[in-house]
Amino acid sequence: MTNDMAPEEFRRAGHEIVDWIADYLANIREYPVLTARKPGDLIDALPAQAPETGEPIERILADFREQVMPSVTHWNHPRFHAYFSVSASGPGILGEMLTAALNVNGMIWKSCPAAVELEQVTMSWLRQWLRLPEEWFGQIYDTASVSSMHAVACAREQAFPEVRTEGGMRGAVAYTSEHSHSSIEKGCIALGVGQNNVRRIGSDADFRMKPEALEAAIRADLAAGLKPFFVTATVGTTSTSSIDPVPAIADIAERYKLWLHVDGAYGGSACVVPEFNHYLRGTERADSLVVNPHKWLFTPIDISTFFTRKPEILRQAFSLIPEYLRTAADPRALNLMDYGVQLGRRFRALKFWFVLRYFGHEGISHILREHVRMAAEFAGWVGGDERFELAAPHPFSLVCFRMKAGDEATKRLHQALDDSREAFLSHTVLNGRYTLRFAIGNIKTTDEDVAATWTLIQRLASEIIA
């Protein structure tokens, strides 16, 4: 006798759900990418109070299909080209299901050796694909925002070790490019660096941080009696996917003893492909790197990998062992709670292990290459249409473009695309101009999808110009 769902009922509903998932993924093109629902529609459709007595699983599943699904934006749709388009994959979803079933907490080795050791195995595999030095230590957090915040914490521990006990960081200055992700600034806010002490360094015509401007800013801050301690370079910036000159930034970081963090949340994934690995050049001289498998390595959200060549500093920043979690010391029994702010940890490595093994290095490289090839083809079409202009180089699978007719026309095109619900693009502003972002990252996107979206864009642009 159990208070939980009976095994037979679990089996029946579980089979039904797996069938539903298989159909959903197979028929994904039949769904509109974007929902027609308005803000608050789902809240209004559901009861304001939780049920007093339990409900049958059939009713919950029916409401999932009829109420929840219509409010879903379909990230699985092959014509989802917004933000950084991401997708899970069959093996990743199956791994995630097992993680939920095992429900282990990998806070220390003893609490689940499998979670801790599979994390070390998969991080070592990824490190090798990225061609990072062997001594680099890798571990998993939830998001790049949290990974980068830990990089700032390491930098603080390195430059201001007294802050861990005394608090009150004063005079610390961090550097990042005007095109880096907002998470870098947020990490600095969270750790008490202060937003005013984050310098956003200017970039060149291709949106790459200018090393000479970085060095000038550091020198000015030193002359003012401040203490530069941290710099981020991005491999694949969010707006345009530009690649900062990591080797030149590494020179400066070494000269002024700054912690160098490389944000490869998006672009880092592509660097597992041998011919794209050069985009990481210089990272071997950095102190840390973030790469998000939930962005472009076909693993369900969330999983962000953080690598550092100074794990002892990360440990120094965060290790705090209460008696109730003390275990016998063993050099092979890693306690991951010592390497970050969180105690409890999901078994995220399992889904990643499924993905890495199912596709292998060749399989993943092939998909990534195809995405980059399709993006280049799309860029060729944009560049060949006199109504449009490309707005940035496209080293990876993101194409930035706009209408020559001006911002109003580009905004109207964007709205018309949203209204069509057939394809989803997002936007940015580059050099003061409204710019559309077309990103490929979905495992199901084909040449036909890309061509169909381009045909749609051309048709809507003609209507706008007419």
Q: Residues interacting with ligand PLP, by CB under 6 A?
A: 84, 143-145, 181, 183, 234, 236-238, 263, 265-266, 292, 304
Which of helix, strand or coil describes residue 220?
Answer: helix
Question: Which of 143, 269 has the CB closer to ligand PLP?
Answer: 143
Question: Which of 179, 402 has the CB closer to ligand PLP?
Answer: 179
Alpha-carbon torsion 271, 275, 278, 284, what sign? positive
**Cβ contact 265:236 at 8 Å:** yes
Q: Alpha-carbon distance 203 to 443, whole Å?
A: 32
In whole angstroms, how close is the CB of 87 to ligand PLP at the nearest point? 15
Q: Which tokens is 429 given?
A: 């502003």
In whole angstroms, how close is the CB of 277 to ligand PLP at the nearest point? 18
In whole angstroms, how close is the CB of 347 to ligand PLP at the nearest point? 19
Question: Which of 106, 268 has the CB closer to ligand PLP?
Answer: 268
In whole angstroms, how close is the CB of 234 to ligand PLP at the nearest point? 5
Question: Which of 140, 350 has the CB closer to ligand PLP?
Answer: 140
Q: Alpha-carbon distance 100 to 97, whole Å?
A: 5
**Cβ contact 443:371 at 8 Å:** no
Question: Which of 243, 379 has the CB closer to ligand PLP?
Answer: 243
Q: Which tokens is 38 given?
A: 């308005």
Question: Which of 143, 197 has the CB closer to ligand PLP?
Answer: 143
Question: Which of 76, 234 has the CB closer to ligand PLP?
Answer: 234
Nearest alpha carbon to residue 30 among 422, 451, 426, 439: 422
In whole angstroms, how close is the CB of 259 to ligand PLP at the nearest point? 17
In whole angstroms, how close is the CB of 177 to ligand PLP at the nearest point? 11
In whole angstroms, how close is the CB of 401 to ligand PLP at the nearest point? 19
Which of helix, strand or coil describes residue 68?
Answer: helix
Helix%, strand%, coil% for the chain, nearest 5: 50, 15, 35
Backbone torsion region of residue 38, taken as left when φ is above 0, otherwise alpha when ψ lies between -120 and 50, otherwise beta: beta
Using alpha carbons, list the distances in angstroms from residue 60 to 14, 96, 126, 160.
Answer: 13, 21, 39, 52
Nearest alpha carbon to residue 353 among 143, 98, 75: 98
Question: Which of 79, 179 has the CB closer to ligand PLP?
Answer: 179
In whole angstroms, how close is the CB of 180 to ligand PLP at the nearest point? 7
What would the DSSP string read from start to end of 71-136?
A: G---TTSTTB-SSS-----HHHHHHHHHHHHH----SSGGG-HHHHHHHHHHHHHHHHHTT--TT-
Alpha-carbon torsion 392, 398, 404, 409, what sign? negative
Question: Which of 169, 443 has the CB closer to ligand PLP?
Answer: 443
In whole angstroms, how close is the CB of 268 to ligand PLP at the nearest point? 9
Q: Alpha-carbon distance 325 to 336, whole Å?
A: 12
